[in-house]
Chain A
Amino acid sequence: MRENVFLTESGMTFGPFDADCFYHIEKAEEWKKLYDNGCKISECVVYRRNKNAWLSIEAKTTLANPHSPLDGGESFRNEIEEISEKLENSLDIFLKARLCNYTPEGFEQIDFRNAETVFVLVIRNHQYDWLINVTEALNQEIQRQIRFNRLWNVRVLAINEETAARYGLVTRSEQQGLQPGSGF
């Protein structure tokens, strides 16, 4: 039986993921040494065999209001930039890890010629129509770089916990069988 892993972040329990297809960037010691200079990264990378897609996942409890009357949306824009930076760094770190065979076995199956590269931002409590704005804003920020819109054809999604649960990225408390936080 394959080992399942979970990861708790921003009040959400991500998983269960097949351990072979789960790469917890933050805990990867090799990369902590090299990138201990404040490099911002996302939570993890997950390979979805059925979609031949590898997902770089970032979690947040909440996000600033893009139409805030207090700062004209500046906090929102700053957060989008930061999230974008995390996802970009994570792409680089993950790919390097993959090239050096530091990633779990499951990632060896990725057919990079045809695989989809997906950045997923999971915001715990966010309404649908707000998520559309966040998706568009994040997509614009990411796509500024040619390597994302030409080389890797990155897709960007912002979803909430409910949607993440529906697509098996998150386990909600009433669904849990295994203990959360049993990832490495």
Chain B
Amino acid sequence: MIHNVSIKNLGVIHDFSTDRLSNINLIIGENGTGKTFLLKSLYASVKTMEQFHRGNNRRSVQDLLAEKLRWTFQTETLGELVTKGEQDGLSFSLMNDGTDFSFSFSKSAAVKIANVSSLEEQRASNSIFLPAKEIISLIPVILRSRDVDQAFGFDDTYYDLAKALQIKPHRGKNYKTFADSRLLLQNIVHGKVDYSEENQSWYFVNSRNQKFSIDTTSEGTKKIAILDRLLANGYLSPSSIIFIDEIESALHPKAIYDFLDIIEKLAFDMGIQIFIASHSYFVIKKLYLIALKRKQSVMCYSMNGNEKAAVSDLRDGMPDNSIIRESVRLYEEEVDQTL
């Protein structure tokens, strides 16, 4: 679990730091305030720690990190990640389960990073990033563009997820929370997604065992089915970290509500740390209710562009934020129209 983070001069993020991370961490803010950048920087760092000395891989942490950052953010040079106009360069540090990891580079950095903290050992887990858009229908294209064409287009969040989804569901015992969560996920979409080796294609099978081409399946269904697959194939474990960008995208509010119930289980029953970026009032409200119900902290970071992020604990109440203010504005408009 990540316990603290400090970031300076990463894209639009001038200065972000926290030592109050919890099992569920919500990132909110208007478009362009750095929500996805924050998630991706954490993801790239954690994946570097997980890939370091994995199996027979003996690549240096500097090389792994440089490649991960380039392919996650898809910049020609690493220096493009440094906030424009800042002379000091980018610095990043986090502490994960007692292990410190940090790096820094200037705007002149090309494809190498000189200053990276050393790692003693691999972080033994698999973390994953769930992007806003579903990717099941794009898996062949994603893999081709990366494995064959080696071209920018689908960043590493998509590529890593595509690779993870290719792992077959394993037979035998699963964690109870994962098994329960899978049932709930399958209830939301009334079925599940699977891969046919024979046809070399993905398909959706509903609760009546009817099969449908993945292309005729809704985006929301595919998105939910992704998590089901990851819980089935052993990719995730209690020490995984899950990053979810725009969790509400393509999901009906009821599906968001049910999906977050599952997130609650994974986070508080399984101990998986989860970072969620959202624009949705429903998401904030539901996570606030989860914090109250569980009597646990759900930290909320409201990104404010040039200013420091506002930090609050949803256990203490709904945060003041433009998403809330918009719903209040609608209410005020209704009052004004009526009275």
Contact = CB atoms under 8 A, between A and B. Distances in A.
Interface of A: 48, 51, 53, 67, 69, 116, 118, 120, 128-129, 131-132, 135, 155, 157, 159, 163, 167, 169
Contact of B328 (A132, A155, A157): A132
Contacts of B338: 51, 53, 116, 118, 155, 157
B334 interface: yes
Nearest to A116: B338
Interface of B: 289, 292, 318, 324, 327-328, 331-332, 334-335, 338-339
Contacts of B292: 67, 69
Nearest to A168: B339
A129 B335 contact: no
B289 A157 contact: no
A129 B339 contact: no
B331 A132 contact: yes
B46 to A, nearest CB: 34
B329 to A, nearest CB: 10
Contacts of B339: 48, 51, 118, 120, 157, 159, 167, 169
A51 B318 CA distance: 34
A67 B289 CA distance: 8
A131 B289 contact: no
Nearest to B334: A157
A115 to B, nearest CB: 13
A65 to B, nearest CB: 10
B331 A135 contact: yes
19 contacts: A48-B339, A51-B338, A51-B339, A67-B289, A69-B292, A116-B338, A118-B339, A120-B339, A128-B328, A128-B331, A128-B332, A129-B328, A132-B328, A132-B331, A155-B338, A157-B334, A157-B335, A157-B338, A167-B339
7 closest A-B pairs by beta carbon, nearest first, are A167-B339, A132-B331, A128-B328, A155-B338, A157-B338, A118-B338, A67-B292
Nearest to A130: B318
A162 to B, nearest CB: 11
Contacts of A67: 289, 292
Contacts of B318: 129
Contacts of B328: 128-129, 132
Given A51-B339, A157-B339, A167-B339, A129 B334 contact: no
Nearest to A68: B292
Contacts of A157: 334-335, 338-339
Given A53-B338, A157-B338, A159-B335, A132 B327 contact: yes
A169 B339 CA distance: 9
Contacts of A118: 338-339
Contacts of B335: 157, 159, 163, 167
Given A129-B324, A132-B331, 14 more contacts: A48-B339, A51-B338, A67-B289, A118-B338, A120-B339, A128-B328, A128-B331, A128-B332, A131-B331, A132-B327, A135-B331, A155-B338, A157-B335, A159-B339
A116 B324 CA distance: 29
Contacts of A135: 331, 334
Contacts of A159: 335, 339
A13 B335 CA distance: 20
B136 to A, nearest CB: 35
A118 to B, nearest CB: 6
A125 B42 CA distance: 43
A169 B338 CA distance: 12
A100 B335 CA distance: 32
A131 B318 CA distance: 14
Nearest to B317: A129
Most buried by A among B328, B334, B335: B335
A155 B332 CA distance: 14
A17 to B, nearest CB: 13
Nearest to B336: A167
A53 B337 CA distance: 11
Contacts of A169: 339
A167 to B, nearest CB: 4
